[in-house]
Structures are given as structure tokens and as C-alpha cells.
Amino acid sequence: MVRVKICGITRADDARAAVDAGADAIGLVFAESPRRVTVDVARTIVATLPPFVVPVGVFTSTPIGEIREVARACRLRAVQVHRVLTPNDVTLLDLLYVLQACRIGSRADAESAARAIGDAVLLDAKAGDAEGGTGKTFDWSLVAGITFGKPIILAGGLTPTNVESAIRAVRPMAVDVSTSVEASPGRKSAPAMLDFVRRAKATH
């Protein structure tokens, strides 16, 4: 069964609704974004989660040492980093599950993503200079036939209406959604989250 991460959670109520919908992980954004949270808010949200729902911190240019401090303070269990990581970076993020986010706009981008460092690779759409959260999809056929050698998490413009096709095309371990399950930026829609999770987990 495909797992689901609901990203851009900014409120404890939305985290609880995501859990009730069946989400396996939630994303807490610490980068510049309408969905950005403070350490204090993130800590409050994480405290509401049951033990088997994974809190993931989302970072862009934050130094590795600071990522470690935030992860420790908020009791994160995974980090999603939107920049190229080195083996030393991953070593310094010990005890955390590391998702290397890669933006896909061409076959060359997909082939580069297959060499990414980390425990899993998150495939997002390349849209200008944005590091993610654009609500745009990429051409899923670009990753066809590429051996990644690690779990794939598919992101980028996923919605309740296209997630089934996306899963069948890419066969990821997990899917990541944010924009399409919002009532407004940073505020989630419980019905939309439930619809997305049900469709994703029912896809074979």
C-alpha cells in the first residue's frame, strides 16, 4: 500500500485531521513559505501525533547543524532537504531519515535524482526557481525505466483526481501532497485530505 505524507501542516487541528484521514506522515515547513512554522508551533503539532505517524521537517538552505537542532527540539523523525546533500551531510543527520528532494524537468534531472544521497528521494516538479510547493506536476514518464536504488516519494501537483494515475505511472513508495488539500495556504481541508488518502491507498 502506498504511504501518504501531507505537507505544509501549520496547525494542530489540521495535523489531527490528517491523522484521522489516514496520513502516514506530516510535513512541517521551516523554509520561506506561506506554510512556514516556528519551532514552538512545530513542537506543539508533533506532540499531538500518534507514535506511528512520522513528523518530517522540510528545509532548503538551512545549515546542517541548524537542521539537527530543529529536529531535536521538535522531535522530528525525518528531514526533507531541497538542495544537494553530501555524504558528510547525511552522516551529520544521523538517526534521522533523510529525504533528498530533487526537481524534475527533464530526463537528465531524473537521472541525476537517481544518484541522490539520502535514505529516499523525493521527486518534485521543476518550476522556475521555486524549491517546491508550487502545485505543479512534472512529466511522470521522465522517470520511467530509471533505477533509483532507494524508495521514491512522488510530489508535485498531486490531487485527489490525479493521484491514482501518478501512482500507476511511477510506482512510488509514498506520495506527498500539500496545495490541493488546502482550504487556503497553510489551512488544510479535512474532506480533501480524506479523499486524497483514500484514493492513494486504494490504488494498486
Average pLDDT on 41-63 reads 96
Other residues' Cβ atoms within 10 Å of the Cβ of residue 150: 15
Q: Residue 197 corresponds to which cell in the numbers above?
A: 488518502
Q: Which of 7, 74, 102, 195 is catalytic?
A: 7
Mean pLDDT estimate for the chain? 94
pLDDT for res 82: 93
pLDDT tens string 115-138? 999 999 999 998 756 555 567 899
Q: Is 94 among the residues known to form the active site? A: no
For the domain 3-201, what is the CATH superfamily, name and number? Aldolase class I (3.20.20.70)
pLDDT tens profile 138-178: 999 999 999 999 999 999 999 999 999 999 999 999 999 99
Indicate the domain borders of the chain: 3-201
Catalytic residue among 14, 24, 124, 176: 124
User: What is the pTM (predicted TM-score) of this model?
Assistant: 0.94
**Active site annotation includes 102:** no
For 181-199, how does the pLDDT look when each residue is reduced to its tens digit (9 = 90+)?
999 988 999 999 999 999 9
Contacts of 95 (CB under 8 A, 6+ apart): none
Nearest by Cα to 151 from 62, 75, 51, 78: 78
* Close Cβ partners of 166 (under 8 Å, ≥ 6 residues apart): 137, 140, 154, 158, 172, 175
Per-residue pLDDT, 133:
58
